[in-house]
Chains A and B, each alone.
Chain A
Amino acid sequence: MELSETALAARARRAYEQGRLQAALWRAAPLLPLVAWAVGWCRYPTLAALCGSALVALTVAFSWRGLVWARAVAPGLLAGLPPLVLPLLMRGAPQVCVGEMCCSLCLVGCVGGGVVAGLLIGRRAAALPEGRGTFLAAAGALALLAGAPACAFAGAVGLAGLVVGFAAGSAPVVLAREPA
């Protein structure tokens, strides 16, 4: 069945988008067992499932979209490991007290993991000639979603600590290399 050149171009464009979507789905597929694993141990399985679904959906969407969005996927997921692992390792630890102020070590892990994630992503974003904001937003979203199930052990304060830690880690690096 022969097509006009316009119809062929439209069909080729659809095929291109379909191919990108397939590649993006393959790229996100390894996250599924990780999400299932996180739902298994998270204190709030619904939250872990929501964060995991959002993580997979955003990975697919960014990979399909391409350019800076796609380039942010791998650094974002890698930067999500510290906030995922640190609070998980510290969840059974006792509270840390400085004077009269006490907080759980898990919360410290959330903030620390957030700072590490922020530093990693901030450094990569600062090295980019353009699209820093997009890269920071995309990679940051993935890192925060990856770390959220573990930080949920410390409750809402843990999630807030993760976000604050990420902002504290990434902002100075990005601002320091902001062009004049």
Chain B
Amino acid sequence: MDAARRRELQELLTRLADGDRAAFPPAFTLLWPVTRSFARSFLRDDAGAEDAAQQALVRLFLRAAEFDPARPALPWVIGIVASECRTLRRRAQRRREGPLAEAEARADAGPSPEESATRSDLERAARSALAGLPPADVEAILAHVGEAERPDVPAATFRKRLERALKRLRRAWSERHGTL
């Protein structure tokens, strides 16, 4: 989200907190794509993400009267949406949990479910940010982390290419998640 839209979000949430109903339609139009996109990058399945985004959006408007205009709007929004997504994911995990023995067997096997979920979230978010980059950038980054063959170019060229790719990746990440 660029600076102008952040300012617009701040202004709309301030007006909503003040009780200005005219700010509702533009706030909804601005918040819905942000909420949906964040939920999709946070949760695994699209259907679950859609459901979570809807619940998060309703929760956002439920708490709009509590918004403090002195604080930045975007982190407040993301905080509520992330909390709602986490709650839904925990519920879904509880539903999916198998018998106790199976759970115990899993407990010693490696990282905890929370760690796995966090790692998986980060991986998914990174892959989603990578997907928007040119193929040469993706190739350079994957080669750098050891997930692909290094292209047959001189070391200096590869370094330059990697530098540019990482810069574009940072920008793509910031646009998607608002922070780095």
Contacts and interface: CB of A to CB of B under 8 A. Distances in A.
The answer to whether A binds B is: yes
Interface of A: 1-3, 5, 8-9, 11-13, 15-16, 18-20, 22-23, 64-67, 69-70
Nearest to A71: B18
Contact of B65 (A12, A13, A23): A23
B28 interface: yes
B65 A67 contact: no
A18 to B, nearest CB: 6
Contacts of B64: 16, 19-20
A16 B50 CA distance: 20
Interface residues of B, number: 23
22 contacts: A2-B47, A2-B50, A3-B54, A11-B54, A12-B28, A12-B58, A12-B60, A12-B61, A13-B61, A15-B58, A15-B61, A15-B62, A16-B64, A19-B61, A19-B64, A19-B65, A19-B66, A20-B19, A64-B19, A66-B20, A70-B18, A70-B19
A69 B19 CA distance: 9
A64 B17 CA distance: 10
Interface of B: 16, 18-21, 24-25, 28, 32, 47, 50-51, 54, 57-66
Contacts of B59: 15
Contacts of B20: 66-67
Contacts of A5: 32
Contacts of A1: 51
B151 to A, nearest CB: 43
A66 B64 CA distance: 12
Contacts of B32: 5, 8
Contacts of A19: 61-66
B37 to A, nearest CB: 15
Contact of A13 (B19, B24, B47, B50): B24
Contacts of B58: 8, 11-12, 15
Contacts of A23: 65-66
B19 A8 contact: no
Top 4 A-B residue pairs of the complex, sorted by shortest distance between their CB atoms: A66-B19, A16-B61, A19-B62, A15-B62
Given A20-B19, A67-B20, A8 B62 contact: no
Contacts of B24: 13, 16
A53 B24 CA distance: 31
Most buried by B among A3, A8, A12, A69: A12
